Amino acid sequence: MGQRTRAVLLALRVMTETRRVLVTGGAGFVGATLVRRLLASGHTVRVFDNYSTGHPDHLSGVDVETFEGDIRDADALDKALAGLDSVMHLAAAGSVVQSVADPVLNFDVNVVGTFRVLDAARRAGVERTVQASTGGALIGDATPPVDERSLPKPISPYGASKLAGEGYAYAFAKAYDLRTVALRFANVYGPWSARKRGAMTTFFQRLNAGQPLVIYGDGSSSRDYIHVDDISGALQRALELDLPGGTVLHISSGVETTARELAELCRAAAGRPDHPIEYEPVRRGEVDRNFANYELAGKLLGYAPTISREDGIPSTWAWFGEHVFQG
């Protein structure tokens, strides 16, 4: 059975009823796209965000209820979850580099915060949760492509915190029958990512400012870049389909892109193929090579990436030009 046929058949199994969903970090980069997608599909959505990395403007013009609060605040979560049946947990401290600089804060937000969200879901009688995890940082240095059978050996506090979050999700599934799903994101890019700390955003900012692009290492380190529309589609599927509690899936492009290739793609998107590049020493905590196999997500979600890097990076540059680099 082909991937497209499998996706069509799975679509027939998607639950027809709408869900009442709390999206933590819903005013962030991925949240801005996901919230719009869920609303367009008829779901009732409530956003919970402290705006530390997200921004209210990301949901400008979107008819959605918002709660300002921190995921470490159990009382605030209890209020936000009243009357809802599902949680999509995106809020996180998402920087590898910052996790190395301040591991205590990273632990507090990602481990304690995820526990608070799961425990609030348990108290509220929520039926299912879907949480954002990570592939490369969680697995650590391993020969790619990695998949759900790869042994996690995180080399940064960020990766360790996401592994702990997956562990708590699995435990809550088994101890409390909470239907938990963790999606291990590849490196996400696309609209609303101006506040995201990552190579592509930094490259775009430096291209716009006329500053040299900076690559850490010799340019051979690699990542798996996935467009936010594809990530949001997988998140919606994970919400709507009846997956077993404790499920973990890699959501990726399956394409290895080196830092040098990414710089070239960004320079081409900006129309500046000769823009200068500088090289600096490798930063601690960052894996050397990473890309992931999404075969299991294809089987369980009908997932397959739809936007190539050759199309997605130029369209993202165009979005930055329209929304970020004006004047």
Q: How confident is the model at residue 7 (pLDDT cuts 50, 70, 90)?
A: very low
Contact 194, 321 (CB under 8 A): no
Provide the mean pLDDT of the chain. 94
Asked if the structure places residue 262 within a domain, the reply is: no
Contact 31, 54 (CB under 8 A): yes
Position 326 scores a pLDDT of 81
Is it the case that residue 13 has pLDDT exceeding 60?
Answer: no
Range of the domain at 246: 3-188+227-253
Position 8 scores a pLDDT of 42
What is the count of structural domains for the chain?
1
CATH number, domain of 166, equals: 3.40.50.720
Asked if the structure places residue 103 within a domain, the reply is: yes
Asked if the structure places residue 327 within a domain, the reply is: no
Tens of pLDDT, residue by residue over 191-223, are 999 999 899 999 999 999 999 999 999 999 999
Q: Which two tokens stand for residue 262?
A: 């990414």
Task: Please confirm, yes or no, whether 158 is among the known catalytic residues.
Answer: yes
**Separation CA 108–CA 97 (nearest Å):** 16
Asked if the structure places residue 320 within a domain, the reply is: no
Is it the case that residue 283 has pLDDT exceeding 90?
Answer: yes
Position 2 scores a pLDDT of 53
Catalytic residue among 51, 158, 225, 279: 158
**Which residues contact residue 46 at a Cβ distance below 8 angstroms, ignoring those fewer than 6 apart?**
20, 21, 22, 23, 64, 65, 66, 67, 80, 84
